[in-house]
Amino acid sequence: MIAKSFAKSLHADALTALSKRLRKSHPNYAYIRDELMQKIAGDLGEEVVMKELENLKLPYKFFIFHNLSLYSENSFQMDILLISPYFALILEVKNISGEIEILTNPSILVRTKPNGEKNTYKSPIPQLEEYIYQLSQIFKRHKINLPIFGAVTFAFARSYVKSAPTDTVFLLSNEVRKFIRGIKTTKPILSEDQLEKLKNWILNNNKEYNSFPLSKHYSINPLDIITGVECPTCTFIGMKKVIRNWTCPKCRNFSKLAHEQTIKDYFLIYKETINNQECRRFFHLQDKHDATRILKNANLIVTGKSRKTEYTMNLLK
Ligand SMILES: [Zn+2]
């Protein structure tokens, strides 16, 4: 069964906000757009593979997790993990279309598009090997003798693996269930109780890596970020506050709740804390009571009193 179901990563939301609010003339703009595209493609690929796994049936108990960040010798992040009484399996999901060559020494993945254009990416093999090693150290500490397998899984059939080392398993998403059913099982290593305990340990120890605000993560000067409330109708940034409403100078639409996304954007990409003055600046407000109202109604964590009041958002709930 699915112990942790598919969820779009917050990092994708944050990159979306950043690519909307970063000036197009910024030297990192193209890089951020590229990161966003890769993240969206990655999330889509993981969703497709998780869909396949929702229908997995096995004659023994098992748990599947999407997107786990665990800490062993260091933090590591697995796209998909399956645990069972017989084995554990890590799936490293790739959504890269075109002709793919996995080269070693140095390890890179080369993709050739139908028009002949080539791109290089990190090879998934050392990544997968590292995750297997890190998970094996966790198992060792808990005296769990479960063998750990790994497979690189391409989400879509438009990926064609032309050449790859033969000692790594490469799958297409529609082969995943068959591959898992084919893993040999003789004697269970964990009892159902032990498996349940391991599942709970994993869920309790999953801590999403906090890369927010992204301006810090990508070393972007917050002053290069476009401020203002985004219009939910036409995406123009810079709505004007009128009584009980926001109005868009571009498309003339009104919105009562447009500031809600802007608050989230602020914490995802701009700064960890906000005070009244920063709120007025970011939301283009004249009146400090408007800012107070917005901050008080946003379900934020409050620290300090009166003039020193600051607010922060718990992004990784
Ligand atoms: Zn508008």
Q: Does 197 lie in the same domain as 150?
A: yes
Question: What is the count of structural domains for the chain?
Answer: 2
Predicted TM-score (pTM) of this structure: 0.87
Q: What is the per-residue pLDDT for 277?
A: 95
Burial call 189-211: b when 16+ CB within 10 Å, e when fewer:
bbeeeebeebbeebeeebebeee
88-114 pLDDT per residue, tens: 999 999 998 889 999 988 899 999 998
Q: What is the per-residue pLDDT for 158?
A: 82
Rounded distance from Cα 123 to ligand 1 centre (Å): 43
The β-bridge partners of 247 are 240, 254
Q: Does 249 lie in the same domain as 120?
A: no
Q: Does 192 lie in the same domain as 296?
A: no
Tokens of 97: 């279309």
Average pLDDT over every residue of 37-51 = 95
The β-bridge partners of 119 are 111
7-27 pLDDT per residue, tens: 988 999 999 999 999 999 999
164-194 pLDDT per residue, tens: 888 899 999 999 999 999 999 999 999 999 9
Rounded distance from Cα 272 to ligand 1 centre (Å): 28
Rounded distance from Cα 279 to ligand 1 centre (Å): 21
CA atoms within 13 A of residue 153's CA, in its CB half-sphere: 31
Domain-located, residue 214: no
CA atoms within 13 A of residue 282's CA, in its CB half-sphere: 26
Domain-located, residue 216: no
Q: Does 158 lie in the same domain as 26?
A: yes
Q: Does 123 lie in the same domain as 235?
A: no
% residues pLDDT > 90 (the chain):
86
Backbone angles phi, psi at 266, to 5 degrees: -55, -50
Q: Does 291 lie in the same domain as 246?
A: yes
241/42 Cα distance (integer angstroms): 38
Q: Does 232 lie in the same domain as 188?
A: no
Rounded distance from Cα 222 to ligand 1 centre (Å): 24
311/278 Cα distance (integer angstroms): 11
121-151 pLDDT per residue, tens: 889 999 999 999 999 999 999 999 999 999 9
CA-based nearest residue to 204, from 249, 146, 142, 297:
142
**Domain range for residue 240?**
227-312
| Sign (positive or negative) of CA dihedral 57, 60, 63, 64 | negative
Domain boundary among 205, 235, 252: 205
